[in-house]
Amino acid sequence: MGSQRLSDIEDISQRRRNQAELAAPRPGRTAPPDIEVIAYSAWPGTDPKVRVRVYRPAGSGAPSPCLYYIHGDGLVPGSAGSDDAKASWLAQAVGCVVVSAEYRLAPENPYPAAVDDRFAGLRWLAGSPHELGIDPDRIALHGSSAGGCLAAATALLARDRGGPAIAHLMLISPMLDDRCPTASHGTNTGFRAWSRGANIQAWQAYLGKVFGTDRVPAYAAPARADDLAGLPPTYVDVGDLDLFRDEAVDFAHRMMRAGVPVELHVHPGGIHGGETLAPEADLSARVRSYRLGALRRALFAQPSGRPSPSAQWSG
């Protein structure tokens, strides 16, 4: 990690600069040449406007499955542009359209700004299949770290509001519980990628005055949801040395008990964001292969006898 000091948030402006430095293009992280990137200044009906980028493999047919990509970085820094190479790579590797967009960051824009932006984006996707060339029955949500928080929250909102339908939910080392209650919050915090202190600071920035109270809603911190039934089939993975290990595993187990199909992986030796920090490591290659396999199965193999996921939502 060098001197980038990404394990804490001593100064928000500096943290954002450090995050941008880490995400800057470097050898091995450039976008594939056969991906068409379409930039939108905003999707209709959002206020304030948010920037959108659509990644489409060259020659892909329509309608294509769609992966709604939600960037991470702790709810305070980060941008869709900082994950440009990741989104392009997913579009190529999975063979689907990937849509990535900005969301408003804390503390300038506390909850519910980011969740509102994510849900507005989902509605835009599901309502624009012809414009985007996508299949509204095959929309998956993908979120890592803070993006996992927003992906889970968006899935809860879609369930409770009757749509749009989500075919699959992928949560990568998800940040789910503002209470930081588990053992892994105390033991897995020494790897300079994301500390318990930074995690608390991020939740404080995001939740504002309700931080530390019982008034935090499940749409802000999905681990607080009492009922997880009705969520889409979900893939969860986390490293066993990740700060978020216990809350991710607990969330997966609770979904299973609620009847949600879940694929759960806990990777020995994995730290938070390790596959990005050490992309050539054997573990990183295995992690990527598991995720790609899950996405391909979810988006290209509709199980027989199951209803279309968008059958109950009309836009």
- Residues marked as catalytic: 145, 242, 272
**CB-side neighbour CA atoms (13 Å) of 182:** 21
- Give the span between the Cα atoms of 180 and 196, in whole angstroms: 8
Nearest to 276 by CA among 242, 299, 251, 246: 242
Selection from 159, 46, 44, 160 nearest residue 103 by Cα: 46
Cβ–Cβ under 8 Å, residues 88 and 31: yes
Question: What is 64-79 written as a DSSP string?
Answer: EEEEEEE--STTSS--
Q: Report the half-sphere exposure of 23 (CA within 13 A, side-chain side).
A: 21
DSSP state of 53: E
299, two tokens? 């988006």
Strand-pair category, 234-239 with 262-267: parallel
Both structure tokens of 1: 């990690």
Q: How far apart are CA 144 and CA 174, in angstroms?
A: 6
Q: Is 22 helix (H, G, I), strand (E, B) or coil?
A: helix
Instruction: Give the count of alpha carbons within 13 A of 293, CB side only.
Output: 10
Closest of 289, 177, 186 to residue 237, by C-alpha: 289
Tokens of 117: 């932006």
d(CA 45, CA 101): 14
